[in-house]
Amino acid sequence: MVIGLLKDIKESSPSGALLGLDIGTKTIGLAVCDPDRRLATPLRTIVRRKFTLDLQEIGKSIKDYEIKGYVLGYPLNMDGTAGPRCQSVRHFAEEMVRYPDIVGPAPWIALWDERLSTVSVEESVGNFVDIRKAKKKGTIDALAARHILQGAIEILEKE
């Protein structure tokens, strides 16, 4: 399994559904796209506990949707440099690779620039819902994962 930036691994992208993950310190937002990779949909938010338990929860969606690749939000700094949160996401991806029985046969994990994804989602839904309640329910994290995944599939579609 290859871990890299989406632009570096899109050539090895078999068709099928992708799973988007917005990996935070307290929660992980999940989103999935259809097998034709046209539309990303928010799935749910997992409250983080321990990596193996988190991955088992993610594994349920991997199996249900027959996932063929992963897009992880990669929180670059505004100047484009990788900070501590990027290292945390990269480490999460490296750990995923160690569990092929859960992650399955997907050939790659893409790291996707997610600068301001959560802020963008909060701004877009802020006029319609109470952001504090949405954060508490995990809605924002799943929507951020959808935002990340939708951006990635639009790039894959162009190529």
pLDDT in tens, 40-70: 999 999 999 999 999 999 999 999 999 999 9
Residue with the larger pLDDT of the pair 44 and 10: 44
What pLDDT score does 134 carry?
A: 46
Contacts with 46 (C-beta within 8 Å, 6 or more apart), sequence order = 27, 28, 30, 54, 57, 58
- Domains detected in the chain: 2-158 (3.30.420.140)
- Closest by CA to 30, choosing from 18, 39, 42, 16, is 42
| Contact (CB, 8 A) for 42 and 146 | yes
Residue 99 has pLDDT above 90, yes or no: yes
| CA distance readout (Å), 120 to 18, 115, 144, 154 | 22, 9, 8, 17
| Distance of alpha carbon 152 from the chain centroid | 10
Nearest to 31 by CA among 108, 23, 124: 23
Report the C-alpha gap between 20 and 26 in whole angstroms: 17
Highest mean pLDDT among 62-71, 72-81, 107-116: 62-71
Do the beta carbons of residue 17 and residue 143 sit within 8 Å?
no
* Nearest to 69, CA basis, from 4, 10, 19: 19
